[in-house]
Chains A and B, each alone.
Chain A
């Protein structure tokens, strides 16, 4: 797995690529949580994720839980088919907010 973090519209876009597994998920977890700890809303781009296991899902859950504690927005964008299949297996596809773009994510709520 590789990652890239872009800051746009006051948010952190965390782009994860490749396989998020037991070996690599600690990096994903660290990057997501550190952006939230810095007060940034986080949008995780999963469009290039080819594989995610229970440890990768756990990293997303931790991010979501911390975002709620800090009253920051958290969401997913571009969820790849392999990632969506695992989110559905975990019954989390309706829990995480999923957005079409960072523009939709950073739009103020009506």
Chain B
């Protein structure tokens, strides 16, 4: 029995990110995840969804993506799946924060917050999947 078992689809539009974040916050809060940890997990998931909107669907306000979150007492896993054209996973880079420039922090944030991050192209190149896992702080 999972402590969190959440699955929801969202339109791939920036204006719908706030609703997605509110929904996942609700699920994390109901599971008793402490605020700072919850904020970090919400940020990582939202950054992943932003990348789907901007890069998988090229900001065209088309398409959908699905957020799945499963957690037990020790670990949480979030999966963001889309059915956009397959991305080239070799093009996804976390940049150095030593240079001061406006863009490219999203992937860096995901990698800083989560313990494990994996990108996959779905079979028959029917979409993409981003999976992120983190161990939860002990209460």
Q: Do A and B come from one complex?
A: yes
CB of B138 within 8 A of chain A?
Answer: no
Write out, one digit per residue, whether chain B residues 84-114 have a CB within 8 A of any chain A CB (1) or not (0).
0000000000000100111111101100110
A65 vs B102: C-alpha distance in the bound complex, in angstroms? 9
Given that A54-B47, A54-B109, A86-B43 are known contacts, is A21 also in contact with B103, CB under 8 Å in the complex?
no
- List residues of B (14-48) whose CB comes within 8 Å of A's CBs: 14-15, 17-18, 21, 36, 39-40, 42-43, 46-47
- CB closest chain-B residue, reference A91: B97
B46 → chain A closest CB, angstroms: 6
Find chain A residues with CB under 8 A from B104 CB.
Answer: 54
Size of the chain A interface, CB-CB below 8 angstroms = 23
Q: Is the CB–CB distance between B50 and A90 below 8 Å?
A: no
Given that A54-B105, A89-B109 are known contacts, is A65 also in contact with B100, CB under 8 Å in the complex?
yes
Find chain B residues with CB under 8 A from A92 CB.
Answer: 97, 100
Find chain B residues with CB under 8 A from A57 CB.
Answer: 105
- CB closest chain-A residue, reference B49: A22
A57 vs B47: C-alpha distance in the bound complex, in angstroms? 12
Write out, one digit per residue, whether chain A residues 84-106 have a CB within 8 A of any chain B CB (1) or not (0).
01100111100100000000000
| Chain A residues packing against B (C-beta within 8 Å) | 19, 21-23, 51, 53-55, 57-59, 61-62, 64-65, 82, 85-86, 89-92, 95
Q: List 21 A-B contacts (CB under 8 A).
A: A21-B14, A21-B18, A21-B46, A22-B17, A23-B17, A51-B21, A51-B39, A51-B43, A53-B43, A53-B50, A53-B109, A54-B47, A58-B103, A61-B102, A65-B102, A85-B36, A85-B39, A86-B43, A89-B112, A90-B97, A92-B97
